[in-house]
Structure 1
Amino acid sequence: MFARAEYDWRIAKARLAMASADVDVLLVDSGELLAWLTGYTVSETMYRAAFLPRDGKPWFVLRALDEAPCREKTWIEDVVGFADVDDPCSVIAEQVRARGFAKARIGIDTHSPCHSAATHARLATECRGARIVPMPGLSDSLRWVKSAAEIAVLRQAAAIADKTMLAIAQTVRPGMTTRDATATASAMFLQEGADTGEVGPVVKASGSHEFLHGIFKTDRLEEGDILHVELIPRVGNYSARMMRPIVIGKPSLAMRETANRLIALQDRQIEAMKAGAIATDVDAILRLGALSQGLRPTYQNVTAYTLGLYTRTARSSDFSRVLLPTSNWPLEQGMVFHAYTTAAGLGFSESVLITRAGGERLTQVPREILSANRLETPLRRTS
């Protein structure tokens, strides 16, 4: 996916963090950070890790079965495979000692989804003599600000989301089901170059905002129903995201009025998402605006969260940076967020890039309630 110069930039960024923590070698086991730093990632069927010294060449330790695909994807030349009968932590400790790090300071992101308390204790026992230095949150913080190359891939994913959303809106009809709409999206993802056909929530909306994480089931769609569609296409593990309500038939005047007010608030929020802005102030534009206008009785969820690289971990969304009333940190140029809002059965969201001038929408489907009879012309992308 990326040139070696891109990885050199990432390595330098990681080593700067290592210098700040005064560690000799970094153990990388987070699925996302493995992909970001090495170019290769794999599920944790058996424990695996890559190691980046502050000085010297890195190495990778993983199942022998995964050794060949790892060599194909990674820039790391030193790849060690172990048999399934071997204990991964024992093999890792042997490799640490063999490379002269028996008494080193080993940095580990203790917030990594792949670094359980049991794994930590096992490594501490196997690597006795070395000192484990917690670096909590490192796997996420290194990736908050995206490079130009990463943003280019996110634009590809956003384009797939755009095309797929319009395809659903143009084909859905009364009598069809949520499963039909999901099948359309899944096929479009694969045809357009997404990593997988995993779509995201496609459900019949109801109530205020409870539908957002609705359980997928086969619901028949009738005239007047709202189909809530959230698309999460990934390209090279980089995910863009977008939500739109699709009305079966023609949206009512009340729906359009609610949508216009919700969109206006979110437009203001996206405009304010500029480098240097304090996240809690940006959050307040939408949160307090929706509450003051009576669009929602309460607003307990985040209004945006970090977007980027997703792999096989226990989480499906990255909440390491979110917009909340307690988010007292500045937005940085190059960050990308999934900004979303819901009310009265309607949900709108965009993938938003932080720039000096304000938020730039990577997703570009018209910001309105969608219905088939209003989407006769193809989308024109502006970038």
Structure 2
Amino acid sequence: MGAHPYFTAKEFALRLLRLKARMRAAGVAVALFDEIEAMTWISGFGSSANRWRCVAIPLEGEPFFLIRALDASVCRERSWIADVPTYRDWEDPMPVLAAALAARGLDGARIGLDFDSYGMSVARFAAMRAALPRAEFVDIGAVVAELRLIKSPAEIALLRRAAGIADQALQDAAALCIPGASQRDAAKRAQMTFVEMGGDPYRPGPITAGRGWDFLHGHLGDAPLARGDVVHIELTPRIHGYSARVMRCVVLGEPEPERSRAATLLAELQDRQIAALKPGAIAADVDAILRRGVIEAGLRDSYDNITGYTLGLYGDAGPRTSDFTRILHPEANWAIEAGMVFHIYASAGGAALSETVLVTENGPELLTRLPRGLFVNP
């Protein structure tokens, strides 16, 4: 049985207790998890979906981690789960799954799945049903994603470290946004800072330049930067998979009055929004502070995107770049809870700002700590 380099055995045991409580409430005898974030949170290890794999958690009896043979040794090294049945790359994993469940008397049980899992294609589900004809499959939803909303002290410690990396990397990248340099120079510097400060060697995040504002998720370009350009930098460093995020604009030369006004207004509105992130607050009310404020100030005609989303663990090879388990929008009727961590972001009028915010029992705490406004490189 392996050991995780950061989380303790007690941490995983507490996660398992919370998960089994949700399984009992759903009335399932065993649950299968095949999204990389869910597998990693439960077991300490996750791998890409090049070949299908899953973590199986029975209410009674030992769990197992079904995985391709090539990845079994590293799985055993990292995960607390001792039973790791395998299959060869060209083999069908479903007979191996069926045999592992049958050995536990679960091949005819009520089996819990997340029917919205990105790992469960229509064809894969059909193969699973064919391999387990006596089983009943039950949709338990995104149970692990919901459990992950409330962070443990150890998870919060990782997010604090990731936020410190984000702050330093953005300053380092912004310093290279000068006439004649390129967006790629900034991206390279950001990624170097990630690794130098102990972060995961992962892509830096969206870095893109232009003259307006509506290009936050544009493409990294090689054209030389010039005075008058604005470089939007959103950095997404990870440490052990846990990601903090920060966004700022870098203006090359004197910013236009309209852009400066927009940045000031956005910061004021966002500060009010962040201050409202308290336990018990309704998400739609928190969202409205920024959304309505931006439109009333004339910075946007409409605000069609969300104003914040949850942060936490990201898989190395997952298809989602953001965790939208909880998002801030006008119809969000759920309550803010202590232990949640959010990426709060705003863009309008040629400016963009974002922060990583932890909700504590006493209210919000900024984990990212850069100056709240435009970065100006004369």
Place the TM-score, normalised by the shorter chain, in its bin.
over 0.9
Partner of residue 20 from structure 1, selected from 25, 33, 46: 25
Alignment of 1:217-366 (within 5 A): 217-311=221-315, 312-366=317-371
Whether the 8 Å contact between 2:20 and 2:59 is mirrored in structure 1 is yes
- With over 3 angstroms needed to count, the CA separation of the structure-2 counterparts of 1:13 and 1:205, relative to structure 1, is farther
Give the secondary-structure state (helix, strand or coil) at the position aligned to 1:75: coil
1:344 deviation in Å? 1.9
Letter in 2 for 1:272: A
Q: CA–CA distance in 2 between the matches of 1:182 and 1:217?
A: 10
Give the secondary-structure state (helix, strand or coil) at the position aligned to 1:265: helix
Aligned twin of 2:44: 39
Aligned twin of 1:368: 373
Whether the 8 Å contact between 1:305 and 1:322 is mirrored in structure 2 is yes
Aligned twin of 1:110: 115
Q: Deviations over 1:119-147 (max 9, x none)?
A: 12211111111111111222311211111
Q: CA–CA distance in 2 between the matches of 1:41 and 1:214?
A: 30
Whether the 8 Å contact between 2:177 and 2:231 is mirrored in structure 1 is no
Q: CA–CA distance in 1 between the matches of 2:122 and 2:369?
A: 43
Whether the 8 Å contact between 1:48 and 1:62 is mirrored in structure 2 is yes
Letter in 1 for 2:51: M
Q: CA–CA distance in 1 between the matches of 2:363 and 2:301?
A: 29
Identity %, equivalent residues: 43
| Larger mean Cα displacement after TM superposition, 97-106 or 70-79 | 97-106
Where structure 2 has 5 or more consecutive residues not aligned to the other structure, the ranges are: 1-5
1:372 deviation in Å? 4.4
Whether the 8 Å contact between 1:239 and 1:307 is mirrored in structure 2 is yes
Q: CA–CA distance in 2 between the matches of 1:149 and 1:197?
A: 21
| Larger mean Cα displacement after TM superposition, 274-283 or 121-130 | 121-130
Aligned twin of 2:216: 212
Q: CA–CA distance in 2 between the matches of 1:104 and 1:298?
A: 50
1:342 deviation in Å? 0.3
Letter in 2 for 1:268: R
Q: Deviations over 1:260-292 (max 9, x none)?
A: 111000000000011110000000000001001
Q: CA–CA distance in 2 between the matches of 1:205 and 1:284?
A: 29
Where structure 1 has 5 or more consecutive residues not aligned to the other structure, the ranges are: 374-383
Give the secondary-structure state (helix, strand or coil) at the position aligned to 1:285: helix
1:170 deviation in Å? 2.6
Give the secondary-structure state (helix, strand or coil) at the position aligned to 1:213: coil
1:199 deviation in Å? 0.6
1:224 deviation in Å? 2.4
Whether the 8 Å contact between 1:305 and 1:318 is mirrored in structure 2 is yes
Whether the 8 Å contact between 1:260 and 1:368 is mirrored in structure 2 is yes
Letter in 1 for 2:374: I
Q: CA–CA distance in 1 between the matches of 2:231 and 2:362?
A: 34
Q: CA–CA distance in 1 between the matches of 2:178 and 2:216?
A: 22
Letter in 2 for 1:295: L
TM-score by length of 1: 0.94
Q: Deviations over 1:24-75 (max 9, x none)?
A: 1111111101000000000011110111111221111100100000011000
Give the secondary-structure state (helix, strand or coil) at the position aligned to 1:100: coil
Give the secondary-structure state (helix, strand or coil) at the position aligned to 2:228: coil
Letter in 1 for 2:132: C
| Larger mean Cα displacement after TM superposition, 187-196 or 2-11 | 187-196
**Structure 1 residue 59 and structure 2 residue 64: aligned?**
yes
Q: CA–CA distance in 1 between the matches of 2:108 and 2:95?
A: 16
Give the secondary-structure state (helix, strand or coil) at the position aligned to 2:67: strand
Q: CA–CA distance in 2 between the matches of 1:254 and 1:21?
A: 54
